[in-house]
């Protein structure tokens, strides 16, 4: 997998922002934040090729033992005396073996372990087997808090899983815990569990072995690159059924895993939602990115997560999000939020992954917008427009969407609905849905199985659209201001004057105003412009209509003196 690590030189561009507001106090970052969020010298010299993880959870003791065999390639002629391996407290590393033989020394620095690096040739491929154990951190409120979940199903039987996107995969297994370095050649997860339970993970089942000590060993694997936080065990009293979906790329194997007592309900509920999801997303985004690994929908004890090829589902077999509609329009109650949203991440988040947590809007903003596109495909454009405008009520504008780089920092929760509304505004201004669709499909083709920066995504959209949206990105991603569209008419009503205010200098979101028998395209900036209009075009300058289609405030102002 091509690694695209472009951190230096990319900043918030504060010098270009006029009247921009910055919310809150300046954050103070710790050494641990820097070690986690930076490509340190101890990380830079080796590239992960594969993870082969083994874990044995003890449900009663809430403890785990395991091993991660990390296969990597040496990418530099010179490197430090150590390699950085991440494993968070209270877990600890017991031993490390080099290529299955030599025992390596290591030392602990908080949640970072500095493992001795033997002499190795540039281009060589080697392996370290990292053995670990302990009582791992438990998730308090999964999936919002990371860690293991040791719980029971409604019949009182053991049920275990992990969530770790926020805290990082090193909360439960040793790895290079940085999004920029995914294992190029895939990963496997072997789980040793009581033989009365079923263990599921990403991709396809490689083997199952019933042991003589009351346990069973399940091994699952993916062949595609995968984010560390997407590799997840699911352990419980699962029942399964399968189907083949005729997708854009051919036959796609689908596996459904649900608690055994929910089997009949799930069989009637899940497939229609999944089929509509693929119908929509393959139309807008292109083929599902992981045909080789299949698609699984797995019932879990929390609400849900986007674990690659093993999407977790905990929405109680009801439409909406736990019975709620985030848009307040009613359209969010006509489909299952978790199935649609978390599956949307297969394209944005799992196929296209950001190098740095600071750019997580690419994951969450595009996937939030996938909900609007799903509604557009299944229920129509008017429903989609209403839904997208409705989700703005979740935008707080408390701090910028893009925070600090290289320090494991995360931006505002606005990274979900605000970029979604930015994308919808760009789409309306472009006024060419087929071109917009090809941009979305092109993103998934151009950056197929890659890690990227926000800058790459921003540049791609601008180039393919034939318009420089750089100031639009700055406005919505790097400030907390809502731009205002000001306008007024000449005394005879035959000319309109317009501009943007409360914005970054040069903000230039195009506006396409459409109505019955009339249309007008304008490209306002922060400087006054004017244009001749007829009576029908003048009627297009209607505050509510503009604000529904574009994430701006709009209003007629007094003529400029």
- DSSP states of 180-238: T---TT-EEEEEEEETTSEEE-SSEEEEEEE-TTSEEEEEEEESS---GGG---EEESE
> Does 474 share its domain with 491?
no
Q: Which residues, in sequence order, are CB contacts of 459 under 8 Å at separation 6+?
A: none
- pLDDT recorded at residue 36: 87
Residues 511 and 526 in one domain: yes
Question: Tokens 């839904």 label which residue?
Answer: 387
Q: What is the pLDDT of residue 25?
A: 53
* 373 and 427 both lie in a single domain: yes
In a domain, 527, yes or no: yes
Are 418 and 519 part of one and the same domain? no
Q: Are 391 and 493 contained in the same domain?
A: no
Instruction: Examine the domain organization and report whether 460 and 396 are in the same domain.
Output: yes
Query: Is 425 inside any structural domain?
Result: yes
**Number of domains, the chain:** 2
Q: Looking at residue 13, what is its pLDDT? A: 28
Domain enclosing residue 500, as ranges: 484-545+552-556
For residue 556, how many other CB atoms are within 10 A of its CB?
15
Residues of the chain falling short of pLDDT 70: 1-26, 560-561
Residue 238 lies in a domain: no
Same domain as 492, residue 450: no
| pLDDT at residue 27 in the model | 73
Query: Of 448, 478, 508, which residue constitutes the final position of a domain?
Result: 478
In a domain, residue 246? The reply is: no
- Whether the Cβ atoms of residue 204 and residue 220 lie closer than 8 Å to each other: yes
Is the domain of 508 the same as that of 452? no
Residue 388 lies in a domain: yes
**Burial (CB count <10 Å: 0-12, 13-18, 19+), residue 100:** exposed
| CATH code where residue 474 lies | 1.10.390.10
User: How much is the pLDDT for 20?
Assistant: 34
Q: Say if 405 falls within a structural domain.
A: yes
The confidence score (pLDDT) of residue 86 equals: 98
User: Does residue 332 lie within any of the structural domains?
Assistant: no
Last residue of a domain, one of 443, 478, 513: 478
Which residue, 430, 448, 478, sits at the end of a domain? 478
Same domain, 407 and 509: no
pLDDT for position 3: 37
Specify whether 370 is located in the same domain as 460.
Answer: yes
Q: Per the domain annotation, does 540 fall within a domain?
A: yes
């Amino acid at each position: 997998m091509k690694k695209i690590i472009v951190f230096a030189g990319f900043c918030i561009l504060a010098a270009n922002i006029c009247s921009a507001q910055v919310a809150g106090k300046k954050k103070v970052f710790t050494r641990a934040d820097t070690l986690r969020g930076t490509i340190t010298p101890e990380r830079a010299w080796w590239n992960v090729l594969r993870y082969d993880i083994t874990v044995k959870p003890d449900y009663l003791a809430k403890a785990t033992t395991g091993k991660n065999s990390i296969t990597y390639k040496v990418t530099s002629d010179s490197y430090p005396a150590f390699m950085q391996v991440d494993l968070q407290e209270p877990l600890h590393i017991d031993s490390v073996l080099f290529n299955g033989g030599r025992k390596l020394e290591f030392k602990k620095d908080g949640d970072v372990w500095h493992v001795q690096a033997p002499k190795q040739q540039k281009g060589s491929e080697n392996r370290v087997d990292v053995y670990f154990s302990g009582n791992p951190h438990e998730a308090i409120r999964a999936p919002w808090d990371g860690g293991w979940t040791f719980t029971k199903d409604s019949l009182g039987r053991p049920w275990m899983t992990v969530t770790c996107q926020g805290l990082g995969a090193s909360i439960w297994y040793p790895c290079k815990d940085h999004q920029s370095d995914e294992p190029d050649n895939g990963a496997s997860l072997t789980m040793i569990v009581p033989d009365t339970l079923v263990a599921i993970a990403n991709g396809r089942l490689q083997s199952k072995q019933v042991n003589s000590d009351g346990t069973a060993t399940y091994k699952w694997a993916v062949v595609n690159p995968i984010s560390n936080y997407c590799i997840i065990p699911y352990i419980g009293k699962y029942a399964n059924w399968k189907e083949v979906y005729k997708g854009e790329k051919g036959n796609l194997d689908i596996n459904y895993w649900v608690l055994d007592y929910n089997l009949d309900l799930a069989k009637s509920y899940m497939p229609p939602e999944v089929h509509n999801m693929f119908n929509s997303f393959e139309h807008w985004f292109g083929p599902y990115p992981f045909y080789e690994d299949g698609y699984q929908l797995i019932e879990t004890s929390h609400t849900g997560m986007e674990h690659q090829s093993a999407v977790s589902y905990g929405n109680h077999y009801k439409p909406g999000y736990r019975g709620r509609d985030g848009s307040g329009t009613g359209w969010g109650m006509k489909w299952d939020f978790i199935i649609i949203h978390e599956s949307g991440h297969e394209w944005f988040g799992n196929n296209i992954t950001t190098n740095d947590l600071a750019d997580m809007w690419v994951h969450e903003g595009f996937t939030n917008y996938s909900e609007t596109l799903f509604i557009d495909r299944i229920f129509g454009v008017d429903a989609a427009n209403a839904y997208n405008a409705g989700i703005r009520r979740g935008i707080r504008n408390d701090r910028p969407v893009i925070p600090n780089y290289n320090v494991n920092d995360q931006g505002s929760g606005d990274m979900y609905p605000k970029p979604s509304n930015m994308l919808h505004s760009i789409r309306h201004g472009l006024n060419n849905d087929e071109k917009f669709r090809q941009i979305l499909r092109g993103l998934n083709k151009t950056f197929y199985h890659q890690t990227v920066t926000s800058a790459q995504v921003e540049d791609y959209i601008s180039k393919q659209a034939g318009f420089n949206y750089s100031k639009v990105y700055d406005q919505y991603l790097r400030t907390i201001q809502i731009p205002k569209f000001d306008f007024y008419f000449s005394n005879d009503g035959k000319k309109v004057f317009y501009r943007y205010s409360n914005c970054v200098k040069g903000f230039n979101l195009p506006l396409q105003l459409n109505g019955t028998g009339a249309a007008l395209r304008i490209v306002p900036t922060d400087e006054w412009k004017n244009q001749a209009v007829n009576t029908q075009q003048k009627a297009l300058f209607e505050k509510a209509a503009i604000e529904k289609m574009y994430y701006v405030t709009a209003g007629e102002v007094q003529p400029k003196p």
